[in-house]
Structure 1
Amino acid sequence: MKIDNGISEKDRKAIANGLNHLLADTYTLYLMTHNFHWNVKGPMFNTLHLMFETQYNELALAVDLIAERIRALGYPAPGTYSEFAQLSSIKEVKGQPKAEEMIKHLVHGQEAVTKTARSLFPTVDKASDEPTADLLTQRMQLHEKNAWMLRSLLEK
């Protein structure tokens, strides 16, 4: 059935394509954060273990919200590792880095998701797609806060 929500098919497709990248970045950050939660060790173990758990739980909810917005726009959401690897701007971390390196990777990941979300605004604004704009704003606020909190752990 044709979608008639006031957003042209061309704009819906462009927004969905952008959201595919946001979904891939978010899922990649989720996997990285969950991996680090499982494997962190050292003097900051408890603090980081709990912080990473809070963050990966929130990211798990976020991937659902993003995928559902893609579907509401009338397009399929990517959902495989290979699709996410192609679409994500976040590179996989090999091995088991030390806690401080984990934090640095996560800061970069949080910032990458923020940049991906921010890059969608011109298309979203042009189409007057307020639901997607709201989603993007909420994502950016959370990722900027998480990046700040993680960066704070690196200060001497």
Structure 2
Amino acid sequence: MSSESDIKKRRTKAINTPSPLGTDAVRDISGELNALLADILALYLKTKNFHWHMSGPYFRDYHLLLDEQADQIYATVDPIAERVRKLGGTTLRSLGHAKRLQRLLDNDADYATPDDMLAELREDNLQLAAYMRATHALCDEHGDVATASVLENWIDEAENRVWFLFETSRRA
């Protein structure tokens, strides 16, 4: 039977994942990726919130668009967290941890118009792409080509969402 001190030691023991990057690179990139992960979780939930609360004459099209976009956003969650671990860092442990790192704003309004929803998501995706570019620059600075490479695909996806949200909200 393990003693309380043995259990405590196991809980606080460093993981020490081998990494070809230096300690500073692991700390810096992991920190940025965790903030990005917190933003992605916030954007995912906001996109689903708007998907669930969509109404109006374009309901079906907007509802399906936001569901598609939410799925795409959610698909980045595990790869980002696993990238942090591959680097030798630790990742988010709770919603509270995510909330402390989140930079994108939540929307808890009782009602938002469909146009306001699309505009807010467009701006959030633009901001997310900017955060990803900054993280990419940090990866370049530390020579982390693997993380930079996956970020390029996620930047493209965010820009694609911006484009769709923009074109969808335009009126003839």
Question: Which bin holds the TM-score, normalised by the shorter protein?
Answer: over 0.9
**RMSD of aligned C-alpha atoms?**
1.4
Distance 2:78 2:17 in 1: 21
1:131 corresponds, among 143, 146, 157, to 146
Deviation at 1:103, TM superposition (A): 0.3
> How far has the Cα of 1:75 moved from its partner?
1.6
- Between 79-88 and 108-117, the greater mean CA deviation after superposition: 79-88
Q: Please list, as runs of the form range in 1=range in 2, the aligned pairs for 1:41-56 lying within 5 A after superposition.
A: 41-56=55-70
Q: CA offset at residue 15 of structure 1?
A: 0.3
For structure 2, the residue ranges without an aligned partner over 5 or more in a row are: 1-14
TM score, norm. by length of structure 1: 0.93
Contact 2:18 2:88 in 1 (8 A): no
CA contact (8 A) 2:19 2:88 kept: no
* Matched-pair contact (CA < 8 Å) for 1:21–1:116: no
Query: Looking at CA atoms only, which structure, 1 or 2, has the larger radius of gyration?
Result: 2
Q: How many residue pairs end up in the alignment?
A: 156
Q: Report the Cα offset of residue 98 of structure 1.
A: 1.2
In structure 1, distance between residues paired with 2:144 and 2:170: 39
The yes-or-no answer on 1:40 pairing with 2:54 is yes
Matched residue, 2:116: 101
1:149 match: 164
What one-letter code is carried by the residue in structure 2 that aligns with 1:44?
A: Y
Aligned to 1:17: 31
Q: Give the gaps of 5 or more residues in structure 1.
A: none
CA-to-aligned-CA distance 1:87-122 (integer Å, 9 cap, x gap): 122111122311111101100111121011111123
Q: Which runs of 4+ in 1 moved over 4 A?
A: 1-4
Within-5 A mapping of 1:82-121: 82-95=96-109, 96-121=111-136
What TM-score, normalized to structure 2?
0.85
